[in-house]
Amino acid sequence: MSAFETLGLNWPSFIWHLINFGVLFFVLWRFLFPPVLKMLDDRQARIRESMERAEALRDESARAAEAVKAQLDEARREGQNIINNANQIAERIRTERTQQAQAEYETILKRAQEDAAREREQAFAELRQQVADLAVMAAERIIHRQLDPATQRQLVNEFLAEAGDGRSR
């Protein structure tokens, strides 16, 4: 036993320390380790749940981003369709306005031609009346007497008939 004594080991003290260590280990194992292990397990479970929630949120945000992208694509397509429809409507309106303007132009031109023809006929009628009056005045001078209205009409009709024959030749 001298080797233990040279090292400074005392058997009764060593055994006593060994028993104290055993009692301490038992007390720790029985009362301290279970709550600490439970706390560590709970913390590990919370961390695992947090990681799973983070993964789920990441997946959900990826799905939401895809949904937003799909909605943006749909909105772009709808916008392009609206623009195309507006262009078609504008072209149709321009075509209709052009057709209306052409129709109005033709109506105005036709009306102007009719007015010109009517004015020309009126001018010819006035000219015939003046020529007839001149013819009657000339005839009165030649005959030196006044003609009654019936004779005047007959002379005018004969003059116009001769003038009409002369114009058509």
131 with 163: CB under 8 angstroms?
yes
Q: What is the reported pLDDT for 127?
A: 86
Predicted confidence (pLDDT) at residue 163 exceeds the cutoff of 80: no
At 80 the pLDDT is 95
Count of Cβ atoms closer than 10 Å to residue 128 Cβ: 15
pTM of the model: 0.41
pLDDT in tens, 2-44: 676 777 777 888 889 999 999 999 999 999 999 999 999 999 9
76 phi, psi to nearest 5 deg: -65, -45
Confidence tier at 169 by pLDDT (50, 70, 90): very low
pLDDT-above-90 percentage for the chain? 62
The single-letter DSSP state of residue 105 is H
Half-sphere exposure of 140 (CA within 13 A, CB side): 14
Q: Measure Cα distances from 128 to 44, 58, 90, 166 in Å.
A: 123, 103, 56, 14
pLDDT attached to residue 21: 95
CA-CA distances (angstroms) from residue 31 to 19, 34, 38, 41, 108?
A: 18, 6, 12, 16, 112
Residue 106 has pLDDT above 50, yes or no: yes
* Domain extents in the chain: 2-168
Q: How far apart are CA 108 and CA 114, in angstroms?
A: 10
What's the one-letter identity of residue 71?
Answer: Q
CA angle 113, 116, 119 (to 5 degrees): 150
Largest CA distance in the chain: 194
